[in-house]
Amino acid sequence: MEGPLAPSADDATDRVVCHVDMDCFYAACERLREPALEGEPLVVGMGYKPETDIGAVATASYEAREYGIESAMPISEALDRLPRKVEAARDDSLDVSAAGFYRPVDMAYYESVSEDVRTVLHDAVDQADPDGTVRAVSIDEAYLDVTAVGWDQARAFAADLRERISETVGVTASVGVAPNMSTAKVASDADKPDGLVVVRPSEAADFLAPLSVDQLHGVGPVTADRLAELGIQTADDLAAADPGQLAAEFGERGRAIYRHARGIDDRPVEPVGEPKSLSSEKALSTTDDTVTKQELVARLAAEVAERASAAGALYKTIGLKVVTPPFDVNTRARSLSGPVDDPDLVEEVALALLEEFTDERVRKLGVRVSNLSFVDADQPSLGTWSDESGEEGAHPDRATRGQTTFGDFAE
């Protein structure tokens, strides 16, 4: 083994890194608001409009994939393989049981569900490892460093995390646990959907060895084809290759994939930039009890204000999220005249926004602060906050009830 790449006694092999990857995320979100789609072949199309063949496949459910539907496939081709249910029902030449459902991408809604998942991830890390970190890398995946959990409890932590996501948000996630980011990502793909794979430090090289190179982090189709031309088809082949030759062929990325094939990756799990918002939310047994809702909102307001203070963040917008059965997401927000760090104000505004839902049955509540700044700023007093129109205490109506939009609740 090349000297600089060999693990040393004090390297990062004791790290516990989780890669959380949401399963068919866009399709899962559509099923949240249309439970009848559960178990049905479902295609979500980018640029797709109902009753047309325009656009491309963004996500296909596992049921739809059985018909050969793949991401980036033109909708017209997908329809040839999997007709729409409604058309199959009208056409005697089509089999309704071999047809599916098509939905257009609704990114605002998917972002809202993604925010819910991130809240679960941050809460889980905060509780398990005070020094832990969350690195969200896309709308449907994130890395967690929870080294303080330790390897003896790593599986239990990951299992609990999956359960929290499922129960709190209503979507499924596959989780890979490994001593580094690249191996954890491979592990999360190894048993989809709803999978959990744990690769301990001593197992990483053996776990990776039989995999084809295109399953490794950082190896795309073009690189995989070139590696095949060099006689390198598996991670074991790649781990045994000459790193100098790989560097000559692929540059620094050649050395990186060589290390990844050996289960070596010393990149730290670091957050990507400063957060755009901070939130706290909790599901509850569906209730219309006013006191129960008020007490929960007050507690959530205190939690999110404490997180903002700990992060050194000021906030200019305070928002409330109310989820009513079956899964209608309602959001309200109020903007202040300047950024503040004021826990009492967060509670007051959140409770004021809740008044609109006094008689509603709810299944989840959330409080969020956004328009964050991480510099000192003049803070308006408790009595001078106003909405964006400048009318003090004006009651906001900045999201349509029943619509799952998050445009006013997230950046």
Bridge partner residues of 322 (DSSP): 330, 365
Residue with tokens 């106003």: 386
Residue with tokens 């000459």: 242
Written as six digits, the tokens of 357 are 């839902």
Of the residues 141, 281, 303, 347, only one is catalytic, namely 141
Query: Residue 32 — φ and ψ, nearest 5°?
Result: -60, -45
Active site residue 141: yes
Three-state secondary-structure class, residue 167: helix
Which residues have CB under 8 Å from 162's CB, separation 6+? 172, 173, 174, 175, 194, 196
Q: Give the DSSP per-residue string, 9-39.
A: TTSSTT--EEEEEETTHHHHHHHHH-GGGTT
- What is the rounded distance in angstroms from the CA atom of residue 255 to the CA atom of residue 322? 49
DSSP helix, strand, coil percent of the chain (3-state; round to 5): 40, 20, 35
Whether 276 and 410 have beta carbons less than 8 Å apart is answered as: yes
- What is the rounded distance in angstroms from the CA atom of residue 51 to the CA atom of residue 69? 18
How remote is the C-alpha of 113 from its chain's centroid?
8
Cα angle value 128/310/145 (rounded, 5°): 35
Three-state secondary-structure class, residue 264: coil
- What is the rounded distance in angstroms from the CA atom of residue 84 to the CA atom of residue 102? 7
How remote is the C-alpha of 387 from its chain's centroid?
30
Q: Which residues are known to be catalytic? A: 141
